Structure 1
Amino acid sequence: MSSENENGQGGAEGASPEQLALIRESVRQAKVPRAKPRTWRGAELAKELPVARVLVDKGVLHLDRYFDYAVPAELDADAQPGVRVRVRFGAGRHRVREGRREGGGLIDGFLVARLAESDYSGPLAALAQVVSPERVLSEELLGLARAVADRYAGGLADVLQLAVPPRSARAEQRPSPEPLPPPGRPEAGSWGRYERGAAFLESLASGGAPRAVWNALPGPDWSEELARAVVATLASGRGVLVVLPDGRAVARVDAALTSLMGKGRHAVLTADAGPEKRYREWLAVHRGSVRAVVGTRAAMFAPVRDLGLVALWDDGDDSHSEPHAPQPHARDVLLLRAAQDKCGFLLGSWSCTVEAAQLVESGWARPLVAGREQVRGAAPLVRTVGDADLARDEAARAARLPTLAWQAVREGLRQGPVLVQVPRRGYVPRMACANCRAPARCRHCSGPLEAQGSGAELRCGWCGREEGAWHCPECGAFRLRAQVVGARRTAEELGRAFPAVPVRTSGREHVLDTVPGTPSLVVSTPGAEPVAEGGYAAALLLDGWAMLGRPDLRAAEDALRRWIAAASLVRPQSAGGTVVVVAEPTLRPVQALVRWDPVGHAVRELGERAELGFPPVSRMASVAGPGEAVAEFLRTAELPPGAEVLGPVPVPVTAVGRPRRVGAPPPGEQWERALVRVPPGSGAALASALKAAQAARMARGGGEAGVRVRIDPPDIG
């Protein structure tokens, strides 16, 4: 027989007080359905979906997760997925997805979802504020940001800082224009010069998703050809995203698009536009008013609707690599977008990177190239001056410029402007064979060998092993030399040699966009070459060893890319265009320039990297920081099978008062760096392991400045 006590709980006849207490406790702890809380500290909550899942903008890996908050009734209408919110988040009592704060400051975040209930059983703190009802974070953009964060072992909040520009209230209040109807299909134009150019354009206009690596012919037509690909995609009713290396390239494609289809059909996203204008343009894209975007690196996340094509020009340019965490490369972001949106992909350049060659070799993309007759008809004549020529040349010994270069300048100035490319100062030399100039590499890991001082033993820049008995595997020689570094007084020398000719300079301090087609000398650093009206009559590519001799895995590829970029601004050989390159003519990059065959050079580089286990065939990550912190990090990281740790080795100290490079140690501090290399197919596992180790270290209070992790570092030597 049973009865009920005053609390309504059932008891058992004859039960002892201890048994009754156990029964009451078991009933109290039973998993019975809970009523959903309708108030929070007296405030009314939303009746439907009262829980908001929020990504807080903390930017630390151990908090790279979502947190749940209660939605007050007064914020119900505006608190929709994708809006910016402010929540309380500070030091003290906090659990994952709890959102409970007795104190703490307000921080920004994104509301990513509304839920009926939280999987946390405790009370939830309420949203403090909906910053704006504008839903700036779509599901597609959130998915892309998560994929980029996983690819680069970074935090989702860091990626969203790159993807969503800062808010401008005035820009949000201005209505975006009504979308214009799709333009008509463009003519093939100069795309007809390529073997599959017209078919590529037709596929885009018909709603297809072709993927191509485009080796553009020299000359100024690349911007118009890229614009025609944009118009063809828009004609199919889909969106387009084009990412370019700098503002000058953006201006050229912008002008070509405006010429083809008028104003108002595309948006330009660059940092130079200013925060309000940039955010206004971004909103027009996000709202669907504009379906085409042209911009620099930051535009790689632009929320273009119904993507039909993503395009990248000159993927080897350093500016495509984001300096802020997690430091993604625009090429990889666009590859993720092409896979996510199942859209077309176009990777174009005058040259060809190893990554581009890998896309073609794997069958993921098709080559888009011109026939050899077209290449010979568009390219200038390339002549070389090697060490043997310089040794016999009195003019070269006296003035650093060989006789052939003087003759090319003199002849070119009769027809128009002459370009002189001078390597930047500050390139660090690496060691090479004194006989055949082959780079000196470690026998263990194939890293670059370095000499720390005069008479010092050689040491690998990757694994740190010393090399006491080096000999050249190419020619068998035993002597080494440090490569040539930079150029001296080039503009002054040329100005004295040609006093009646104006001399213009273009470089870091002042970059020219264009120069007139009248006779003049234009001295430029690589990447800052202005476009000449009608093309340059001639070009000199000086001190080739300054670029070939850099301690960088990409030295040969980058030197060829910069040479071809300069030579592409020169008139064709049929119009008298001549290029003189001062570098050993037997070297592979020089031969590739003479033959104008950057694709063949990239394919051979890819084959060699596959044999040696170099990126992009393998995947690499760098771990840099104080020596003890790096060692502890590597001990705790659960690296995937087959991972190989190279190093650590000391990182060059940044002198106090000198500019600090991205990822370099603070001035005066001694850091070490280790490289982690994994075989093909293990890149995702490597990123996941390093991200987990970094998050665990930060959770233990290791601090953000202790160890820096970078996936696929561009400067591995």
Structure 2
Amino acid sequence: MSSENGSGAGDQGEQLALIRETVREAKKKAPKARPRTWRGAELAKDRPVARVLVDKGPVHLDKLWDYAVPAAMDEEAQPGVRVRVRFGAGTSRVREGRREGGGLLDGFIVERIAESDYRGPLAALAQVVSPEPVLSPPLLALCRAVADRYAGSLADVLQLAIPPRHAKAEAERFPAPPPPPAVPALASWERYPDGPGFIEALAGGGSPRAVWTALPGPHWPWELAAAAAATLASGRGALIVVPDGRSAARVDTALTELVGRGTHTLLTADSGPEERYRRWLAIRRGAVRAVVGTRAAMYAPVADLGLVAIWDDGHTAHSDDHAPYPHARDVLLLRAVHEKAACLIGDLGRTVEAAQLVENGWARSLEAGRDQVRAAAPLVRTIGDAEAARDEAARAARLPSLAWQTARAGLARGPVLVQVPRRGYVPRLACARCREPARCRHCAGPLEAPDQDSALCCGWCGTAAPDWHCTECGHARLRAQVVGARRTAEELGRAFPGVPVRTSGRDHVLDTVPDRPAIVVSTPGAEPVAVGGYAAALLLDGWALLNRPDLRAGEEALRRWLGAGALVRGAEDGGVVVVTGEPTLRPVQALVRWDPVGHAVRELAERAELGFPPVSRMASVAGRPEDVADLVRGAALPPSAEVLGPVPVSAPASGRPRRAGEAPVGEVWERVLVRVPPGEGAAMAAALKAAWAARMVKREGEAVRVRVDPLDLG
């Protein structure tokens, strides 16, 4: 009986397979849809089908959709233009036989074709928003590569790459670009043994690739500008990406001095939406050949691109906060490969990712000799934890004796910079008895002291907490875990009466300070440039940077210290830097020797042993435990993939921003890390994206967060 049943099942299976094959053959022979009319309107005679990328972000909609092109839109509906289409419930579109209806969405025409492989009626384009072809084939290829690398949707990347439209800017006529400038003088590039050769290669039309560790001092904006000017001299375009508007303004000023106005433009958020779109159009139409800008400028459609450059690639501002969270360095590397352009990764230090590019031979190391480094760098002195504990001055005023003496001597010769890791007055408080962090009873946010005379309040929701008591032990007294920039400025004002004290931070950032005695208290990254350089710098609370539970804690601490120390006069001119940190720690030793390259090489070797990025590729998947497990289980990951975790994390709470370095408070999620060896990153990203899209199509479970190459593994 079992044998007969098995035979019957086998015959039935063969019949079903034959039927499926017959249907497939019939579909192949059936004519494809060639729409001629749409609700009585004549359609375009030549290539009447437009393949449209709809501006809708979910990964399961990351595909092209076919629409009919009305004859009235034939001339304007060209590849690259913005259109409006009906999309949603009731809409007829490729592979979904639906009728007229749905809401209007923006989109881009990717191509025009003669026939659609969809055999039902096609919906027509609703409107051509603008005849301006903003999506060029090179930009589309770049955005597609970025979406694939980061397991995101092409629509999300295009939202980052193409600024919103402003009709007034499109009506403007741009002048022709000026002729290529002369090759700039090598100037300070001669301080680097391979510097002149790099500039000459750019001027000759070559595409060299280098990882550049700049010498401390004010020269790096002019050195970046010289590289761009040399590229312009070869008749090609140049693109420079920097982390913030202040750096962009400095490079823009230097480039203007070298090549004059009209050849380049500045792309930052400060210019406003309409002006930014106008400048973007000038780039797309070829009116300017060089671009200096912040993160979003990495997609700038520079014609005949000859150089991509990024400054301070370890800065967190280079990592986009919007899905799919691309990093400017990786996007520019993709552009260098796709467009066969030169690449320059510059920094005062060196990231582990840049060190890997040198180690695997993709780029050459461009750095100065030790004699040049010793001449340009300031003298660095350290104050260890044991020394600070025995120092009466450090216990009384949080300023060790060596730091106080260095500041007093520096004030006799010019301004003194004081770097504090945290902004505010007392941004982190804890119970004086049990050391339990002080948190808000309303939202569990951290309590802060805005100033000496104000009551405690929550740093997230602003709720006052005048009668705070510790929930663990009931104690009512608090102690400061971290002292902020404003409190430090107050203490220094008392320690140095009669000396002006200025602060620079997120709320108020100074660009420059004059060359006269003053104390400048700044948070990392907000240090103003002193005319003639600072006489001295104090880098306080080094433990706050080094003790963070982050794979990049040491690298980030060194990066911030180098940024401040580079603003100080060289040792030959009496410049001194004092850092409060354990002298035996590797980042402190690298600062003392001013050897960021050696630090990056050793960090890379350690990560190679442990299998951490950038030696491996990683992806983070976070969400409810059952959703994370289901997505990872359903992903066709490469056999070499290793799943680490899960570990509990907090879900971001709605209604308030998450602060850098803080764990979000909310529903408990789980997070897993997926790790693959080099060469398997693309397969990992594709597998996670496919599983993510399948869950969204089936509407299973709650949302998950997938991030490839996350900055923070903590």
- Per the TM superposition, whether the score is higher than 0.5 is yes
- Matched letter for residue 705 of structure 2: R
2: CA distance between counterparts of 1:576 and 1:356?
32
1:88 to 86, 91, 100: 86
Q: What is residue 560 of structure 1 aligned with on the other side?
A: 558
Q: Secondary structure at the match of 1:195?
A: coil
2: CA distance between counterparts of 1:541 and 1:383?
10
Alignment check: 8 A CA contact 1:90 1:101 kept:
no
Residue deviations 1:510-532, cap 9 Å, x none?
11111111100000111111101
Aligned pairs (5 A) from 1:320-335: 320-335=318-333
1:263 Cα offset (Å): 1.0
Q: TM-score, normalised by structure 2?
A: 0.86
1:384 Cα offset (Å): 0.4
1:651 Cα offset (Å): 1.4
1:46 to 37, 44, 47: 44
Q: Percent identical across equivalent pairs? A: 72
> In structure 2, do the counterparts of structure 1 residues 497 and 32 end up closer, same or farther at CA, with 3 Å as the change threshold?
closer
2: CA distance between counterparts of 1:302 and 1:662?
28
Q: What is residue 216 of structure 1 aligned with on the other side?
A: 214
2: CA distance between counterparts of 1:335 and 1:570?
32
- Matched letter for residue 627 of structure 1: P
Aligned pairs (5 A) from 1:509-520: 509-520=507-518
Q: What is residue 125 of structure 2 aligned with on the other side?
A: 127
2: CA distance between counterparts of 1:352 and 1:253?
20
Work out whether 1:116 is the aligned partner of 2:97.
Answer: no
Work out whether 1:284 is the aligned partner of 2:282.
Answer: yes
2:578 to 559, 577, 580: 580
1:708 to 699, 705, 709: 705
Aligned pairs (5 A) from 1:116-515: 116-424=114-422, 485=482, 487=484, 489-515=487-513
2: CA distance between counterparts of 1:205 and 1:414?
46
Alignment check: 8 A CA contact 1:428 1:551 kept:
no
1: CA distance between counterparts of 2:383 and 2:640?
45
2: CA distance between counterparts of 1:30 and 1:660?
54
Alignment check: 8 A CA contact 2:417 2:536 kept:
yes
1: CA distance between counterparts of 2:661 and 2:324?
11
Q: TM-score, normalised by structure 1?
A: 0.86
Alignment check: 8 A CA contact 1:89 1:101 kept:
no
1:542 Cα offset (Å): 0.5
2: CA distance between counterparts of 1:693 and 1:95?
24
1: CA distance between counterparts of 2:661 and 2:123?
38
2: CA distance between counterparts of 1:655 and 1:91?
31
Work out whether 1:76 is the aligned partner of 2:74.
Answer: yes
1:509 Cα offset (Å): 1.3
Q: Secondary structure at the match of 1:298?
A: helix
Alignment check: 8 A CA contact 1:98 1:123 kept:
no
1:380 Cα offset (Å): 0.3
Alignment check: 8 A CA contact 1:395 1:401 kept:
yes
- Matched letter for residue 712 of structure 1: D
> In structure 2, do the counterparts of structure 1 residues 49 and 99 end up closer, same or farther at CA, with 3 Å as the change threshold?
farther
1:198 Cα offset (Å): 0.6
Aligned pairs (5 A) from 1:655-674: 658-661=656-659, 668-674=666-672
1:37 Cα offset (Å): 3.5
2: CA distance between counterparts of 1:213 and 1:94?
51
Work out whether 1:642 is the aligned partner of 2:640.
Answer: yes
- Matched letter for residue 574 of structure 1: E
1: CA distance between counterparts of 2:222 and 2:184?
11
> In structure 2, do the counterparts of structure 1 residues 589 and 86 end up closer, same or farther at CA, with 3 Å as the change threshold?
same
2: CA distance between counterparts of 1:654 and 1:126?
41
2: CA distance between counterparts of 1:706 and 1:658?
19
> In structure 2, do the counterparts of structure 1 residues 714 and 227 end up closer, same or farther at CA, with 3 Å as the change threshold?
same
Alignment check: 8 A CA contact 1:67 1:99 kept:
no
- Matched letter for residue 349 of structure 1: D
1:383 Cα offset (Å): 0.3
Residue deviations 1:230-285, cap 9 Å, x none?
10000000000000000000000011011111111101111111011000000000
1:309 Cα offset (Å): 0.2
- Matched letter for residue 504 of structure 1: R
1:654 Cα offset (Å): 5.4
2: CA distance between counterparts of 1:134 and 1:307?
21
Q: Secondary structure at the match of 2:590?
A: helix
2: CA distance between counterparts of 1:325 and 1:653?
17
Residue deviations 1:348-404, cap 9 Å, x none?
000100000000000000011001100000000000000221132221122221110
> In structure 2, do the counterparts of structure 1 residues 560 and 416 end up closer, same or farther at CA, with 3 Å as the change threshold?
same
1:38 Cα offset (Å): 2.1
Q: Secondary structure at the match of 1:141?
A: helix
2: CA distance between counterparts of 1:557 and 1:663?
15
> In structure 2, do the counterparts of structure 1 residues 287 and 674 end up closer, same or farther at CA, with 3 Å as the change threshold?
same
Alignment check: 8 A CA contact 2:82 2:128 kept:
yes
Q: What is residue 9 of structure 1 aligned with on the other side?
A: none
2: CA distance between counterparts of 1:628 and 1:334?
37
1:101 Cα offset (Å): 3.8
1:154 Cα offset (Å): 0.1
> In structure 2, do the counterparts of structure 1 residues 423 and 140 end up closer, same or farther at CA, with 3 Å as the change threshold?
same
> In structure 2, do the counterparts of structure 1 residues 528 and 125 end up closer, same or farther at CA, with 3 Å as the change threshold?
same
2: CA distance between counterparts of 1:490 and 1:522?
11
1:665 Cα offset (Å): 9.3
Residue deviations 1:87-145, cap 9 Å, x none?
11011365645585421011100000010111112111111110000000000000000
2: CA distance between counterparts of 1:401 and 1:93?
69
Comparing 178-187 with 212-221, which one deviates more in the overlay? 178-187
Q: Secondary structure at the match of 2:396?
A: helix
Alignment check: 8 A CA contact 2:587 2:599 kept:
yes
Comparing 673-682 with 315-324, which one deviates more in the overlay? 673-682
> In structure 2, do the counterparts of structure 1 residues 661 and 583 end up closer, same or farther at CA, with 3 Å as the change threshold?
closer
Unaligned runs of 5+ in 2: 1-25, 430-479
1: CA distance between counterparts of 2:670 and 2:662?
10
1: CA distance between counterparts of 2:357 and 2:386?
39
2: CA distance between counterparts of 1:486 and 1:618?
37
1:507 Cα offset (Å): 1.0
> In structure 2, do the counterparts of structure 1 residues 617 and 639 end up closer, same or farther at CA, with 3 Å as the change threshold?
same
Residue deviations 1:614-648, cap 9 Å, x none?
10001111111122211222221222112121222
> In structure 2, do the counterparts of structure 1 residues 598 and 34 end up closer, same or farther at CA, with 3 Å as the change threshold?
closer
1: CA distance between counterparts of 2:296 and 2:626?
36
Q: What is residue 550 of structure 1 aligned with on the other side?
A: 548
- Matched letter for residue 91 of structure 1: A
1: CA distance between counterparts of 2:387 and 2:660?
40
- Matched letter for residue 711 of structure 2: P
Q: What is residue 456 of structure 1 aligned with on the other side?
A: none
Q: Secondary structure at the match of 1:565?
A: helix
1:661 Cα offset (Å): 4.8
Q: What is residue 14 of structure 2 aligned with on the other side?
A: none
1:664 Cα offset (Å): 9.3
Alignment check: 8 A CA contact 2:86 2:103 kept:
yes
2: CA distance between counterparts of 1:80 and 1:656?
42
Residue deviations 1:461-501, cap 9 Å, x none?
xxxxxxxxxxxxxxxxxxxxxx9755572111100011101
2: CA distance between counterparts of 1:382 and 1:116?
69
Alignment check: 8 A CA contact 2:91 2:102 kept:
no
> In structure 2, do the counterparts of structure 1 residues 523 and 549 end up closer, same or farther at CA, with 3 Å as the change threshold?
same
Q: What is residue 570 of structure 1 aligned with on the other side?
A: 568
Comparing 257-266 with 635-644, which one deviates more in the overlay? 635-644
Q: Secondary structure at the match of 1:209?
A: coil
1: CA distance between counterparts of 2:491 and 2:209?
48
